[in-house]
Amino acid sequence: EAQVTQNPRYLITVTGKKLTVTCSQNMNHEYMSWYRQDPGLGLRQIYYSMNVEVTDKGDVPEGYKVSRKEKRNFPLILESPSPNQTSLYFCASSLSTGVWDEQYFGPGTRLTVT
Amino acid sequence: GNSVTQMEGPVTLSEEAFLTINCTYTATGYPSLFWYVQYPGEGLQLLLKATKADDKGSNKGFEATYRKETTSFHLEKGSVQVSDSAVYFCALSDLGGAQKLVFGQGTRLTINP
């Protein structure tokens, strides 16, 4: 089944404890992206990747890192999480970087930082 | 910068009612426009899209028409069902660089039987 998977789905952690949220897609998609969803703000892009070893900042990159060593994986790293990073996170992928391409979203990771 | 504005929610309707969720946008150039739907506990799914002015996207009884003159992409459905209860997001593709979706804030729709 074609899908984007994320792990974990739920995570509660404490301020400053490094964590990684994994994202994997099995559709051989070129483009991958991370968004965060906050009430009243919709989704905002954190980072994106147009191909292996090519990543760039989105609108809200502060406090996050990413890597794209393999085409299928695009982990999101929080080196020192803070409470303002409590949010619902979505990974997405699309076949190419054409602006008309549908993006496929993972099921989301709900992160709480205390 | 590019932006999307959706009507405030939540919206509550009875089954078989007519649905309109308003969406207007601000963008340079001619972006593609999308409606995504998020069912409870799930990620977003593409509902429909339109890539140029006057295009009509449609899927599952939902429709939206790309109106350049009014910079709008309103979502409509003639007869809603309980299963349509979800959060709906209007979005546009940002043409400024990599493919990026700019989302509205989302509209929560609840359909009562």
Query: Average pLDDT over chain B, rounded to whole?
Result: 92
**DSSP output for A38-78:** ETTTEEEEEEEEEETTEEEE-S--TT-EE--SSTTB--EEE
The conformational region for residue B41 under phi > 0 = left, psi -120 to 50 = alpha, else beta, is left
pLDDT for A97? 73
Per-residue pLDDT, B58? 97
| pLDDT of B113 | 94
Beta-carbon count within 10 A of B63 CB: 17
Identify the contact set of chain A against chain B, taking CB-CB distances under 8 A: 4, 31, 33, 40-45, 48, 50, 56, 58, 90, 92, 94, 97-103, 105-108
How do the residues of chain A divide into helix, strand and coil, expressed in percent and rounded to 5? 5, 50, 45
| Predicted pLDDT of residue B99 | 65
Residues in chain B with CB shorter than 8 Å from the CB of A58 are: 100
Q: Answer yes or no: do B99 and A101 touch at CB < 8 A.
A: yes
- Per-chain mean pLDDT for chain A: 93
Sequence-ordered list of residues with C-beta below 8 angstroms from that of B25, at least 6 positions apart, any chain:
B2, B3, B4, B5, B31, B33, B71, B72, B73, B90, B92
Predicted confidence at residue B25, as pLDDT, reads 96
Residue B72, min C-alpha distance to chain A (Å):
17
Check residue B22 and give its pLDDT. Answer: 97
What is the average pLDDT across B17-26?
Answer: 97
Give percent of chain A above pLDDT 90.
82
Q: What is the pLDDT of residues B76-111, one digit of tens each?
A: 999 999 999 999 999 998 765 556 788 999 999 999
pLDDT digits (tens, 9 = 90+) for A70-95: 999 999 999 999 999 999 999 999 98
Chain B residue set in contact with A, beta carbons under 8 Å: 4, 31-32, 36, 41-46, 49, 51, 89, 93-95, 97-101, 103-106
Instruction: Give residue-wise pLDDT tens across range A12-42.
Output: 999 999 999 999 999 999 999 999 999 888 8
Are A4 and A103 in contact by the 8 Å Cβ rule? The answer is no
Asked if B94 lies within 8 A of A43 by C-beta distance, the reply is no
User: A98: which residues sit within 8 A by CB, 6+ positions away?
Assistant: B99
